[in-house]
Amino acid sequence: MATPSAEARCAFCGDNIQPTKKGGGRPKDYCGPKCRSRAHQQREREPETARPPRDSWQVIVNDLTTRARRLDLVGSGRLAVVAELTEAMRYDVACLTAVAVDEARHEGWTWAQIATQVGVPEASARAHWGGSRVAARVAGRVPAQAPPPDALHDPPPIGRGAGHHPLALPRASGDVRALGCALYTLHQRSGTSLDRIAAVTDLPPTALSRLLDGTLVLSWSEVYMVAHALGGEPADVRLLWECAWGQPSVADPRDGTGRLAAALRGARLAAGSPGVAASCPPGVDPADLRMALQGRITLDWPVLRDVVVGWGADPRRFKPLWKAARVERHTLREGVRRP
């Protein structure tokens, strides 16, 4: 006697269905008349109005995308995380099918039509998605984990070593691209391979590549390591990182000049590090811009605004730093005058 396959189970009680002696023919959906009758009674009692939330499809697709991005960052080296993510994605895919079936039912499709499209017997389609089963299945999903609010300032790293956690913000915006361009300029200047940077920082090469492409933002501690490994000053890309991460800090007058100079150097890196003379507006001495980049002077606001606009940066990001630098210099002058 042939052994029943793993799929030959009763659609009501789940027990194995014993094959018929003759064999062949259409597979049975129930192990006997009793389960068939009970399944029919259950379907009659279930409320057909129970439906999943209207935005379920988009929510599930978004969660699938988030989990796929995390898999891309984690790689195949962390088996426990990969297993957890793939199992959640498998359940999400099943939920998407269920939501599509539910939508078809409420557009007037018969169970026979749905069964034909999905490729299962009609009774199995009813048993899987009839009544409130779709709503219950969707309600049983585990949403994709989002970064906690306090992680926006300095989240855990995403490196490959033990104790690391995959946490980053996949984004696509001008601020993210600006950070990527600045780091890419440092990378081109350093001549160091990504594999070498990955070995030094303990970051996945995929994450590094996307960071330099301007499609991914890592934590500040990781961007700090990358900038340092590329031979740059991490402070120069701090403002770029804050804007890319969506958490610009409040300008502090106690270090206004230094932060303004660093932000200017970062904006220049993001523009591809053009020459100083070529970056000066008409009538501005390149020596003044060099000293401003060194933090030795503070340019007048109209001049500084024209410089950063020429580099493709948003001058509104620099106005608070410029004001803080002016306050700092004014305070220093006042301090010198006082006995």
Does residue 49 surpass a pLDDT of 60?
Answer: no
* Mean pLDDT, residues 181-208 taken together: 90
Chain segment 218-246, per-residue pLDDT in tens: 888 889 999 999 999 999 999 999 888 87
- Cβ atoms of residues 51 and 102 within 8 Å: yes
Question: What pLDDT shows up at residue 27?
Answer: 64
Q: With bands split at pLDDT 50, 70 and 90, how would you rate the model's confidence at 81?
A: confident
**CA-CA distance, 82 to 123, in Å (whole number)?**
35
Question: What pLDDT shows up at residue 183?
Answer: 96
Question: What pLDDT shows up at residue 310?
Answer: 94
In Å, how far are 66, 78, 209, 336 from 82, measured between CA atoms? 13, 6, 21, 62
From the DSSP assignment, how many helices (H) and strands (E) are in the chain?
16, 2
The pTM (predicted TM-score) of the whole model is 0.52
Picking from 15-29, 121-135, 151-165, 171-185, which range would have the lowest pLDDT averaged per residue?
Answer: 151-165
Question: What pLDDT shows up at residue 277?
Answer: 93
Q: Residue 101: which of 87, 89, 115 has the closest Cα? A: 115
Does residue 158 surpass a pLDDT of 50?
Answer: no
Question: What pLDDT shows up at residue 106?
Answer: 86
Question: What pLDDT shows up at residue 308?
Answer: 94
162, containing H or E segment? none
Chain segment 255-272, per-residue pLDDT in tens: 678 899 999 999 999 999
